[in-house]
Structure 1
Amino acid sequence: MLVPVAHGSRDPRSAATVRALVDEVRAQAPGLDVRPAFLDFDAPSLGEVLDGLDGPAVVVPLLLGSAYHARVDIPAVVAAAGPAHPVRVADVLGPDPRLLAVARERLAALGGEPRGIVLAGTGSGHAAANAVVHRLAGDLGAVAAFATTAPRVPEAIAALQARGAERIAVASWFLAPGRLLDRVHEQAGGVPVAEALGAHPAVAEVVLARFAAATRPLLAAAG
């Protein structure tokens, strides 16, 4: 059983995107029992899904970085639920070359050929998670910026302009639209911002790859 768990949001576009991604996962893996869950704001909660398990399960965090939610929140919910069947928590989705390819595709959809690129992510108090975004930005030929921590999008845009970049665009390191991506749009001040990764088939492939990697130990334990 696959339990993809998203953070959840007050913005309904976020849950709609998660459910569309789950539909894509199901389309790519017919017959697999896929039960989505959320940490906050949306239903069902991860605890509720774990309480209803009727067999072993793999929880796949629908998160792009390994920050607090992945390292603390999700394992704590699993431990508190005390599920009757074995549960493993898989790795987060990012970083993964397939996700970076989707970010490139969303950026290209803006049209034109930017001379300066900002890769915008959420931002975290966990320095290692932010460092991953900086590394991915380098792979993209971009500079990194964050919605919630420094360097922020206006600073990154100003730095590119200081280098002489006349056409700038912002690539999105967000899984779904929502309030934080809206904040990036506001911070960009009219500079084009690419769409979130969304329910792209390649994102679903990564979800299934994380599921498969975490399933192998469960199968080995079962004998």
Structure 2
Amino acid sequence: MAAPALIALAHGSRDPRSAATVTALVEEVRAQRPDLRVAEAFLELASPSFHDVVKKLVREGHEEIVVVPLLLTEAYHAKVDVPSVVAEAAERHPSVKIRATAVLGHEARFLEIIDERLRAALGKARVRELDALVLAAAGSSDPLANASIARLARLWGAHHKLPVVAAYASATPPTTGEAVRAFRAQGRRHIAVASLFLAPGWLPDRAAELALEAGAIAVAEPLGAHPEIARTVLARYAVGAVELVPV
């Protein structure tokens, strides 16, 4: 029996850099598991759509599909949008088993990627001294999602023995600019900002802009198509594939 197909499902953005990053991540997943049928899809604002990809996989003869949401928080898209499109696809294709996994979330090992991206930004800016850090994320109207980001920020700060605050690009304060200004009001002048976004786009660009305007000395790039992210996608897929096995 063939292994289930894997759909890496991203939210989507009008920014072409976002879709390009998702494509590069899927290529990394394929490189790590060339035996799997792997495809990317988007909830909105980019193509291919989720339903088009499911239809294509069904035409190819796949009877089992595992959907891995490329989301970093268990917020609205994870709780509402993903279950909705998966349920609709299951209704359209009753002979096909479709299972959505947990989101990528905030794996502690993602902090290593954040550090890698931040070191690159600090090197580019020729910065050797830091006295505060800001962890920028999209933000959500869901307080539990924001709390998970704040916990990750505290873990990151404890690792570096530096004060850290989480900042958000939408939905909830503080913004990156507000976070940087608050640190500067404390007398801190070497403040760097890390990016807890999967891919480039309007929100990470805005977060970077506000941080630099407020006096941040460096802003890191998003996580991107890192091999560790691909390994996490495959770890989620493995759990989803097992859940498809009849008990």
Distance 1:101 1:94 in 2: 15
Q: Which moved more, 1:8-17 or 1:81-90?
A: 81-90
Which residue is 1:212 aligned to?
238
Distance 1:55 1:131 in 2: 38
Q: Report whether the alignment pairs 1:96 with 2:107.
A: yes
Q: Report whether the alignment pairs 1:178 with 2:201.
A: yes
Distance 1:201 1:153 in 2: 27
Distance 2:19 2:200 in 1: 9
Deviations 1:91-144 (A, max 9, x none): 111110221211111111122342110000001011100001100110111210
SS of the residue aligned with 1:211? helix
Superposed, which structure 2 residues align to 1:123-162 within 5 Å?
Answer: 123-141=139-157, 142-148=164-170, 149-162=172-185
One-letter amino acid matched to 1:91:
A
Q: Let me know the Cα RMSD of the aligned residues.
A: 1.2
The answer to whether the 8 A contact 1:56-1:86 is kept is yes
Q: Which moved more, 1:94-103 or 1:124-133?
A: 94-103
2:72 corresponds to which of 64, 82, 96: 64
| C-alpha displacement of 1:50 | 2.0
**Which of 1 and 2 has greater Rg?**
2
Deviations 1:153-184 (A, max 9, x none): 11111221122221011000000001111101
Distance 1:72 1:135 in 2: 24
Q: Report whether the alignment pairs 1:73 with 2:81.
A: yes
Q: Report whether the alignment pairs 1:2 with 2:3.
A: no
The answer to whether the 8 A contact 2:134-2:166 is kept is yes
Distance 2:151 2:186 in 1: 20
Q: Report whether the alignment pairs 1:198 with 2:238.
A: no
Distance 1:170 1:199 in 2: 20
Which residue is 2:49 aligned to?
45
* Structure 2: gaps (5+ residues): 123-127, 158-163
One-letter amino acid matched to 1:67:
A
Distance 1:74 1:110 in 2: 34
The answer to whether the 8 A contact 2:108-2:152 is kept is no
Distance 1:176 1:113 in 2: 27
| C-alpha displacement of 1:80 | 1.4
Distance 2:192 2:68 in 1: 31
SS of the residue aligned with 1:185? helix
| C-alpha displacement of 1:35 | 1.3
One-letter amino acid matched to 2:167:
A
The answer to whether the 8 A contact 2:136-2:176 is kept is yes
TM-score, normalising length: structure 1 = 0.95
Distance 1:113 1:47 in 2: 49
Identity of matched residues, %: 52
Distance 2:176 2:6 in 1: 35
Deviations 1:48-98 (A, max 9, x none): 222333220110000111111111001101111223311111111111022
